[in-house]
Amino acid sequence: MVIDGQTLCDMVISAANALDNNKVTINNMNVFPVPDGDTGINMTLTMASVRTLSSFDGTVGDCAEKIANMVLRSARGNSGAILSLFFRGIAKSLKGLETATASDIALALKRGTDEAYKAVMKPTEGTILTVMRVCSEKAVERVNKGRYKDDPAGLFGYVLKTGERTLAKTPDLLPVLKEANVVDAGGYGFLFLISGMLAALKFNPVVAKETTVAVENQATFADFDTDSIVFAYCTECIVGKKPQYRGEGTATDFHDLVCGIGDSVVFIDAEDIIKLHVHTNHPGQVIEKALEYGELEMLKVENMRLQHSNLVENESTGGTTESAPAATAAKIEKEFGFVSICMGEGIRDTFTDLGVDVTVYGGQTMNPSTQDIIDGVDRTPAKYVYVLPNNKNIQMVAAQAAEMVSDKKVIVLPTKSVPQGISAMIGFNPDADEPTNTAQMTEAIGTVRTAQVTYAVRDTSIEGIKISSGQTMALVDGKIICSSDNNADCLAAIGESFADASYVTVFYGEEISEECAEKAVAILREKLGAGTDIVCIAGGQPIYDYIISAE
């Protein structure tokens, strides 16, 4: 048996469905118990575009290239970026082939792994990379010994078993996994991808649990302006209820929240699930509330303003959604421009006040895709465009986006938090050249510390700190320093960590009232003393009650 273009297409669609069906399980494998465990969602959204390839009339090499291009543009988060590089390596290996043998596939898996490793500055063993590497090395080893010569299904079965054994060993390679009693989430997701491909080779491809209804009559999208869309984000989710919420009509406060923050609401409060649809400007609030009631079995958030702009352009040019450009490139009008990824109106306005041209909605739980960032760069009318990811999980995707822009020089600054992004902007000098500004802004990132207050989504233990589901947690520079039943203890712990700070900024989240924010400032002031300036801003960010910077 050999693999042709249609077979590869079927394999990858099956893999995408397997990821989609199991994204919640993958999310729950994340080490940190913060409510942004989005590995499963990122991997699913990265692969989602290939599900449109219901058929493929071409060679296996052409199909691999098509898949690689689609996945690259939709990649989200580090896990999604690694997947996109994996498929890019596969495409390079299969280039020019009409069909692929088991030996060709083994070499392609190895090339894909090599591409993924090359893109990671400091590869960490015990992650998805380890699972990929061992699987591909063992696959090449087997075919070189003459095994699975005419049996790609047998090869994938062997790869899956190898991956399962390797994944089980990841806690021994990463102590943090062992302490949290989980295996690596990315590696876990990778095995769902392999199992989906194997299922297709066995003529029993994985079918997505959710189906879409075909629309016979299509609207004309130029009939109204994009700016007339009041609520930007079409948000849909299915929540598997926790035992205490089983039964009909148990989520009335969730229903009231959804009705109060948007329109086009459909809310089904059934025995075991909640299914909802809403157009809103605050999808983070919906997600956060949903997690109180149970696990997300399906989540979809789409920017309707961006979709409408694309559809209007497609209608005017006679193009299709896939082939038409996602955004109209702005003419270069100045030397320097800035794109910042952030969530929350107050944080967005802060970046805008500092000179950011385009803010891309994203961050925790909402990692933007490669294409989202490219669109932001395209809309920035500058020769040099600085991208501020403001999240470590967006760094790789931003770097991929930078490589794909040819008409501007894109510089991705290593900002891992909103405070770091703000500090970088303050370090910008409009009279300096690009190398000087890049150096100064990068240096400025290191002058600020970041604290965050959020809640735990499951019981775990991290570096000796016992954490219970629902407790409040304080993180300083990405490390959990406190777990408590209230915000006050966590804020006090942050204040002690920032004892030598001279300037502190507090961004309070969308669920925090002004009165609560004032109390938070009072707790910090008690710990920091009168010599520290404290500024409090309504950030409006979801998930994190407080994001605090200290200089």
Chain segment 346-358, per-residue pLDDT in tens: 999 999 999 999 9
- What pLDDT was estimated at residue 328? 55
Query: How do residues 319-351 score in pLDDT, each as one tens digit?
Result: 433 333 344 567 899 999 999 999 999 999 999
299 and 336 share one domain = no
What is the mean pLDDT of the segment spanning 501-506?
A: 95
- What pLDDT was estimated at residue 181? 82
Read off the CATH number of the domain in which 246 is found: 3.30.70
Q: Are 188 and 26 in contact (CB under 8 A)?
A: yes
Q: Specify the range with the lowest mean pLDDT, choosing from 76-80, 96-100, 171-175, 360-364.
A: 360-364
Phi, psi of 298, deg, nearest 5: -155, 140
Q: Are 291 and 237 in contact (CB under 8 A)?
A: no
Q: What percent of the chain has pLDDT over 70?
A: 89
Q: Specify the range with the lowest mean pLDDT, choosing from 110-114, 222-226, 462-466.
A: 222-226
- What pLDDT was estimated at residue 35? 56
Boundary of a domain, candidates 308, 340, 368: 308
Task: Decide if 320 is inside a domain.
Answer: no
390 and 477 share one domain = no
195 and 71 share one domain = yes
E strand or H helix at 7, and its extent? helix 5-21
- What pLDDT was estimated at residue 164? 96
The reported pTM is 0.74
Instruction: Give the Cα separation of 544 and 43 in Å (integer).
Output: 23
Scan for tokens 């038409």, then name that residue: 324
26 burial (CB, 10 Å; 0-12 / 13-18 / 19+) is buried
Instruction: Give the Cα separation of 387 and 285 in Å (integer).
Output: 26
Query: How do residues 143-187 score in pLDDT, each as one tens digit?
Result: 999 999 889 999 999 999 999 999 999 999 988 788 778 889 999
243 and 165 share one domain = no
Q: Specify the range with the lowest mean pLDDT, choosing from 68-72, 298-302, 379-383, 426-430.
A: 298-302
Q: Are 339 and 380 in contact (CB under 8 A)?
A: yes
- The pair of structure tokens assigned to 394 is 């967006």
Q: Specify the range with the lowest mean pLDDT, choosing from 60-64, 356-360, 469-473.
A: 469-473
What is the mean pLDDT of the segment spanning 77-97?
A: 94
What is the mean pLDDT of the segment spanning 404-412?
A: 93
- What pLDDT was estimated at residue 501? 93
Q: What percent of the chain has pLDDT over 90?
A: 59
Beta strands in 252-375 (DSSP E): 262-269, 273-280, 294-303, 334-342, 358-361
DSSP 3-state assignment of 240? Answer: strand
Please state, in angstroms and as integers, the Cα–Cα distance from residue 191 to each residue in 91, 104, 164, 450, following that order: 20, 20, 7, 35
E strand or H helix at 352, and its extent? helix 345-353
184 and 268 share one domain = no
- What pLDDT was estimated at residue 231? 77
- What pLDDT was estimated at residue 30? 75
| Residue 114 CA from chain centroid, whole number | 23
- What pLDDT was estimated at residue 246? 87
Please state, in angstroms and as integers, the Cα–Cα distance from residue 535 to each residue in 188, 454, 506, 518, following that order: 43, 20, 6, 10
Whether residue 266 is predicted with pLDDT greater than 70 in this model: the reply is no
Whether residue 83 is predicted with pLDDT greater than 50 in this model: the reply is yes
End-to-end CA distance of the chain: 63
Whether residue 36 is predicted with pLDDT greater than 60 in this model: the reply is no
Instruction: Give the Cα separation of 472 and 454 in Å (integer).
Output: 6
For CA atoms 541, 544, 545, 547, the dihedral sign is negative
Boundary of a domain, candidates 169, 201, 233: 201
Instruction: Give the Cα separation of 43 and 19 in Å (integer).
Output: 7
- What pLDDT was estimated at residue 321? 35
122 and 18 share one domain = yes
Give the Cβ contact number of residue 160 at 10 Å: 17
446: which residues sit within 8 A by CB, 6+ positions away? none
Domains contained in the chain, number: 4
DSSP 3-state assignment of 86? Answer: helix
DSSP 3-state assignment of 167? Answer: helix
Q: Are 192 and 20 in contact (CB under 8 A)?
A: no
Instruction: Give the Cα separation of 88 and 383 in Å (integer).
Output: 28
What is the mean pLDDT of the segment spanning 501-515?
A: 95
- What pLDDT was estimated at residue 315? 45
Query: In terms of residue numbers, what domain contains 341?
Result: 325-445
Residue type, 382: A
- The pair of structure tokens assigned to 36 is 């942004």
Read off the CATH number of the domain in which 161 is found: 1.25.40.340
Task: Decide if 144 is inside a domain.
Answer: yes
- The pair of structure tokens assigned to 346 is 């107050």
129: which residues sit within 8 A by CB, 6+ positions away? 82, 113, 116, 117, 120, 123
125 and 151 share one domain = yes
274 and 228 share one domain = yes
120 and 37 share one domain = yes
Whether residue 424 is predicted with pLDDT greater than 90 in this model: the reply is yes
Place 465 in a pLDDT band, splitting at 50, 70 and 90. confident
37 burial (CB, 10 Å; 0-12 / 13-18 / 19+) is buried
418 and 368 share one domain = yes
Give the Cβ contact number of residue 53 at 10 Å: 18
- The pair of structure tokens assigned to 69 is 């291009």
Task: Decide if 209 is inside a domain.
Answer: no
- The pair of structure tokens assigned to 33 is 């118990």
Instruction: Give the Cα separation of 369 and 459 in Å (integer).
Output: 30
Place 221 in a pLDDT band, splitting at 50, 70 and 90. very low
Boundary of a domain, candidates 252, 276, 308: 308
Whether residue 415 is predicted with pLDDT greater than 50 in this model: the reply is yes
